[in-house]
Amino acid sequence: MPLLETRGLCKSFGGLKAVNNVSIAVEEGEILGIIGPNGAGKTTLFNTICGVYRPDAGQVMFAGQPIHGLRPNRIARLGIGRTFQASRPFRGLSVEDNVRAAYGVRFHKSWRTLWGAHRADAARRRARELLEQVGLAHVAGMEAGQLSLGLQRRLEIARALALEPRLLMLDEPAAGISHEEGLQLMDLVRRLRQQGVTVVLIEHNMQMVMNLCDRLVVLSYGEVIAEGKPADIGRHPAVIEAYLGKEVAHA
Ligand SMILES: Nc1ncnc2c1ncn2[C@@H]1O[C@H](COP(=O)(O)OP(=O)(O)OP(=O)(O)O)[C@@H](O)[C@H]1O
Ligand SMILES: [Mg+2]
pLDDT digits (tens, 9 = 90+) for 48-81: 999 999 999 999 999 999 999 999 999 999 999 9
Using CA positions, which residue lies closest to atom 28 of ligand 1? Answer: 39
Q: What CATH number does domain 4-89+165-249 carry, 3.10.450.50, 3.40.50.300, 3.40.47.10, 3.20.190.10?
A: 3.40.50.300
Question: What is the distance in A from the centroid of ligand 2 to the CA of 233?
Answer: 20
- What's the Rg (C-alpha) of the chain? 19
Strand order of the β-sheet with 16-26 is 16-26, 4-13, 57-62, 65-66
Q: Please choose from 19, 34, 42, 83 the residue to mutate so as to test ligand 1's pocket, defined by most ligand atoms within 8 A of CB.
A: 42
Using CA positions, which residue lies closest to atom 17 of ligand 1? Answer: 43
What is the secondary structure of 66-85 as a DSSP string? E-TTS-HHHHHHHTEEE--S
Question: What is the distance in A from the centroid of ligand 2 to the CA of 47?
Answer: 10
Question: What is the distance in A from the centroid of ligand 2 to the CA of 42?
Answer: 5
pLDDT, tens digit, 9 for 90 and up, residues 204-235: 998 899 999 999 999 999 999 999 999 999 88
Share of the chain above pLDDT 70, in %: 92
pLDDT, tens digit, 9 for 90 and up, residues 2-28: 999 999 999 999 999 999 999 999 999
User: Given CA atoms 208, 211, 213, 218 in this order, what sign does their dihedral have?
Assistant: positive
Cα(83)–Cα(102) distance, rounded to whole angstroms?
A: 12
Burial of 77 (0-12, 13-18, 19+ CB in 10 A): middle
Average pLDDT for 116-132: 84
In the chain the first and final C-alpha atoms are separated, in Å, by: 42
Which ligand does the CA of 242 lie closest to? 1
pTM as predicted = 0.92
Domain extents in the chain:
4-89+165-249, 91-146
